[in-house]
A = this chain, B = another copy of it.
Amino acid sequence: MQNGSSSMVSEVRVASRDLVRQLGLMNQTVAGTDLSVSAVHAIIEINQTDRLSSKDLSEKLLLEKSTVSRLVKSLIKRGEVCEMRSEHDARVKHLSLTPIGNNTLQFIDRFAEAQVSTALDRLGNDAQAGILKGLQDYSSALQPRMADEMPDRSGAAVTIESGYSAPLIGRVLEMIVSHMNRHYGFGSSFEAKVATELAQFIGRLDSPQNSIWRALRGDEIVGSISIDGENLENGQAHLRWFVVSNTIRGGGVGGALLDAAIEFCDSQGYHECHLWTVKGLDAARSLYERKGFVLAEEYRGDQWGDEVLEQKFVRSVG
């Protein structure tokens, strides 16, 4: 497992910050227009995709749907965009640019093209190609990858088993703690806390309210998830210690673990299943939301040691 070197990472960050400033991304208006970044992106996307809906736009811009709804409304008011109700689904509206919107798009294109080509003209062809490749590699590498969307490089089959097998506690600790240490600097007190609670939980596995699953690649434990039915109020399950090894890419391991946990909750008749995570783990969030979890709360908390921005997700049954 190779890490980008600390100096390389720092320098990428410096360059990224510089780009943000040069491109005016902190300013209220961009591209020589009186439009925001989001509005400029929206206009470009609306032009590029036939029959684009607000939902599509929200997904492309990675913005919340109400934000997009208001953005579209504002652009319609300016005369830049018009909408037409879909013939197939009366809820959906297809967005397109008006002639005014097309004028604005042309202006934006000229402005941006001039800006970029002015920059590129200062450099030779090799450097230009390097810029393009670097930007493309970086942006695609930044894409959140859901565990079950990436091809498994090892090619070995992974199975999901319920119950304990050695060295489950150690493996779970290793995977969780190395991740949290790397991302949040959590150290020994964090690991001690998790170990104590997990060990205590394993001692409670004989209770039908609790269960644990492990993902196995051969004999190797590469993932785990637990449902603790004794930790919250009656009728509420606590999804805990959900982790997939960094060596796993794809194969749907995370999704399968989550499915197993959810099926257990439903068959046990839990009304709700709660989990806590740290803001920013977008891949995990996507997976939770796909499985019916909804963000219930967000706060600064220290349940994992140091203070982080915590999110609580809840999946409710009826």
Contact = CB atoms under 8 A, between A and B. Distances in A.
Interface of A: 1-4, 6, 8-13, 15-27, 31-34, 37-38, 41, 44, 60-63, 103, 106-107, 110-117, 119-123, 127-143, 182-185, 278-280, 300, 306-309
Contacts of A116: 4, 9, 12-13, 16
Given A107-B308, A117-B9, A137 B130 contact: yes
Contacts of A16: 19, 23, 116, 135
A130 B130 contact: yes
Contacts of A110: 183-185
A23 B15 CA distance: 13
A15 B107 contact: no
A32 B185 CA distance: 14
B32 A309 contact: yes
Residues of A contacting B: mostly: helix
Contact of A3 (B24, B121, B143): B121
Contacts of A106: 185
A18 B44 CA distance: 12
A182 B117 CA distance: 10
A41 B17 contact: yes
Contact of A26 (B6, B17, B62): B62
Nearest to A186: B110
Given A13-B112, A13-B116, A309-B33, A123 B142 contact: no
A44 to B, nearest CB: 7
Nearest to A18: B139
A107 B309 CA distance: 10
A44 B16 CA distance: 13
A190 to B, nearest CB: 13
Nearest to A119: B141
Contacts of A128: 4, 8
Nearest to A142: B22
Contact of A131 (B12, B21, B127): B12
Given A32-B278, A106-B185, A137-B127, A4 B121 contact: yes
Contacts of A62: 21-22, 24, 26-27
